[in-house]
Amino acid sequence: MNLATKDIRYNFGRFALTTVGVGMLLMVVMGMGGIYRGLIEDATLLIDRIGTDLWVVQRDTRGPFAEISRVPSSLVHRTLSVPGVQLAREFVYHTVQRERNGKPLRISVLGLSWPTDKGKWIPLTAGRHLAQSHYEMIADESLGMPLGEKITLGKETYTVVGITSSMISASGDGIGFFSVADAQAIQFDVPGEAVRLERAARESRGNRIDLTSIQPSLLDNAVRPAAELPQIPRPQASAVMVTVVPGTSVQQVADIISAWGDVSVFSRSGQRDLLLMGNVEKVKRQIGLFRILLTVIAGVIMALILYTSTLDKIHSIALLKLIGASNLTILGLILQQALLLGSLGFGVAYLLGSQMFPNFPRRVILTDYDLWQLAGIVFAISIASSLLGIWKAMKVSPNEALS
C-alpha cells in the first residue's frame, strides 16, 4: 500500500486544484523562456537567412539593425572593386505604420537589390517571388494580407505576389519585401505640398545669392524634380551586403573596406553580437529575473501547500508512529507527494502552453534544452519544498495520536 497515493485519493479535489495552480505558474515560467528564445530568433532571423559575409554600414554606426545607417548607392560599385568580393548588394530596411481596415498596420520594409536579389532565399508558403522591379511585394502571413491584395504606400500601389511565414523583425512586426527602389520610395515619400514648399524654398535661396543675378536661368532649376538636379544625391541605402569569393579570407576583405573613411564593416557574427548584446540584452536580463522570481514563488507555494497538508495529517502521522511506522515511511509519504505535485504540475504547464503559446502575439519557442532545464528545476524545488513538511512531521510525537 502506498500511503502517498492513498492520501491523494482521500483529498483528490484539493490536490487537483493545487496541481493546476502550480502548473499554470510553471507555464508562465516556461513561457518566459520561450519568449526569450523567440526574441533571439526574431532578432537574428534576417542575418541568418540572408547569409552574407560582411555588412558595410555608415562610419561609427552599428547599423542597419541596431541603429540608423545611411550609405550612398555608389558604395556597391566600390565594394565590387575590392579583390575577393564576389557579390555586393544594397540593403534598405525601415519600419512604417499605416492604417488598414480601420486598424494600425506596422510593416518592416526590406528592400531587395533588384535584379541581383529577387528574394529567392525567402521561403514562400504561397505565390511567387518578385518578377519585376516595381509595384510588387512579398508579405509575411502575420500582416494578414492575402495573395493579390493591393496596398498603397506613399504614392504607389503594391500588389502582394508572395506569402511567407515566420519572417518577423526584432520588434515583432511582419516583414514586407520590396525592391530597393520601391523601399526607398516608401521611406523617402513626402506629400505634394511639402515638395511645392521645398521648391519655393530653393527659389527663395537662389534669389538671395549673387550668382542668380548674373545667370538668372539658374532659378529655372528650382522647380525641377530633385532627381533631375545633379547636386542632390540619390536616396541612400541602409547598408551594403558583401559576399566573399569562396576560399578568400573574409577578414582580409573586411580590413580593406574598413580602411575607407566613410564606412564601418561587420562580419555576420559581429552583426549578431551587436543585436544580442544591445537590443536583446536588457530584455534577456529582465526575463531572466522574472523567471527566477516566479520559480522561487512556485517553490514557496509548494512548500506552504505541503506544510499545510502535513498539518492536516498530524493525527494520522502520530498514529503511524504509534503503531511502529518508521520515519523513513513518513518521509517517503511527503516526498512522494511533493515529487508527484511537481511532475503533474510540469505536465499541466506543458500541455496548456502547447495550446496557448501559438496564439501569443510574439513567437514563443520551446527548446528541448529549456524544457529539460525547467524539469530539473521543478525536481529540485519539489524536494526543497518538501523539507518544511518533513521537518514538521519528524517533530510529531506518537502520543498526539491519543489526544
Query: 76-105 pLDDT, tens per residue?
Result: 888 998 999 898 888 888 888 888 888 888
Q: State what percent of residues in the chain have pLDDT above 90.
A: 11
* Average pLDDT rounded to a whole number, residues 254-271: 88
Asked if 148 and 159 touch (Cβ cutoff 8 Å), the reply is: yes
* pLDDT of res. 221: 61
The Cα 399–Cα 40 span in angstroms is 60
Query: Is pLDDT at 160 greater than 90 in this prediction?
Result: yes
* Average pLDDT rounded to a whole number, residues 122-144: 90
pLDDT band at 1 (very low <50, low <70, confident <90, very high): very low
* Average pLDDT rounded to a whole number, residues 235-242: 85
* pLDDT of res. 400: 59
Beta bridge partners of 89: 241
Helix and strand tally (H, E) in the chain? 12, 10
Query: Is pLDDT at 15 greater than 80 in this prediction?
Result: no
Mean pLDDT of the chain: 80
* pLDDT of res. 3: 53
Asked if 75 and 240 touch (Cβ cutoff 8 Å), the reply is: yes
Query: Is pLDDT at 161 greater than 90 in this prediction?
Result: yes
Q: Worst-scoring range by mean pLDDT, 90-94, 262-266, 279-283? A: 279-283
- Among 133, 128, 129, 135, smallest CA distance to 114 is for 133
Highest mean predicted confidence (pLDDT) among 3-17, 157-171, 386-400 = 157-171
The Cα 356–Cα 351 span in angstroms is 9
**Judging by beta carbons within 10 Å of its beta carbon (0-12, 13-18, 19+), is residue 50 exposed, middle or buried?**
middle
* Higher-confidence position of 100 and 350: 350
Query: Is pLDDT at 153 greater than 70 in this prediction?
Result: yes
Q: State what percent of residues in the chain have pLDDT above 70.
A: 80
> Cis ω on the peptide bond leading into residue 191 (within 30° of 0)?
no
Cα of 388 vs its chain's centroid, Å: 41
* Average pLDDT rounded to a whole number, residues 268-295: 80
* Average pLDDT rounded to a whole number, residues 53-61: 89
* pLDDT of res. 320: 67
* Average pLDDT rounded to a whole number, residues 136-152: 90
Highest mean predicted confidence (pLDDT) among 11-20, 61-70, 101-110, 326-335 = 101-110
- Domain boundaries, given as residue ranges, for the chain: 3-42+280-402, 49-270
